[in-house]
């Protein structure tokens, strides 16, 4: 029922617990300090993906345009008109199908998130209830120091 990681959590030493919790706060500090860089990196990656997608669409469009000009004996403008009208119809159809599926997708996503959240809370509650009083005091102290450090960092 519980993962190996959760079982190891109750068997870990105080030093391992301190390292595990410190890594959590180190990641939070890293995200806070590097937020601008991470945002720029994500923006750059998203821009590259959009450009590659645009190149792919252009190559498909050009191939279809050549095929239409050859098979229907149409000129460039007529082929582009056919492609644009077909793309608009396909976009409307896709938007309609997506609009019809949004409620069921949201419901499935909500149920899945709820299931994962409840399993996580159940594991943490099991770990907390099985911990000794001394261990609970150490955990609360470590998290208090970490949160205080975060608040100090944010208010600088």
pLDDT at site 104: 96
6 assigned to some structural domain: no
126 assigned to some structural domain: yes
Q: Give helix 35-72 / helix 14-33 axis angle, nearest 10°.
A: 60
4 assigned to some structural domain: no
106 assigned to some structural domain: yes
pLDDT at site 7: 54
pLDDT digits (tens, 9 = 90+) for 86-135: 999 999 999 999 999 999 999 999 999 999 999 999 998 998 998 889 99
- Average pLDDT value for residue range 50-60: 96
Q: Name the nearest CA neighbour of 139 among 147, 4, 6, 2.
A: 147
Percent of the chain with pLDDT over 90: 67
Give how many domains the chain has, as a whole number. 1
The CA distances from residue 90 to 60, 85, 97, in Å, are 15, 9, 10
pTM of the complete model beyond 0.85: no
2 assigned to some structural domain: no
Domain boundaries, position 139: 12-155
């Amino acid at each position: 029922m519980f993962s190996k990681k959760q079982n190891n959590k109750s068997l870990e030493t105080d030093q391992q617990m301190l390292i595990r919790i410190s890594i959590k706060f180190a990641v939070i500090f890293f995200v806070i300090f590097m937020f601008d860089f991470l945002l720029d990196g994500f923006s750059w990656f998203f821009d590259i993906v959009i450009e590659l997608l645009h190149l792919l669409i252009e190559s498909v469009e050009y191939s279809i345009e050549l095929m239409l000009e050859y098979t229907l004996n149409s000129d460039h403008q007529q082929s582009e008109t056919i492609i644009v009208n077909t793309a608009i119809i396909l976009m409307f159809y896709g938007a309609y199908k997506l609009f019809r599926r949004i409620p069921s997708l949201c419901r499935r996503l909500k149920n899945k998130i709820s299931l994962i959240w409840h399993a996580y809370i159940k594991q943490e509650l099991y770990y907390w209830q099985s911990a000794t009083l001394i261990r609970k005091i150490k955990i609360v102290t470590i998290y208090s120091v970490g949160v205080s450090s975060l608040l100090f960092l944010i208010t600088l």
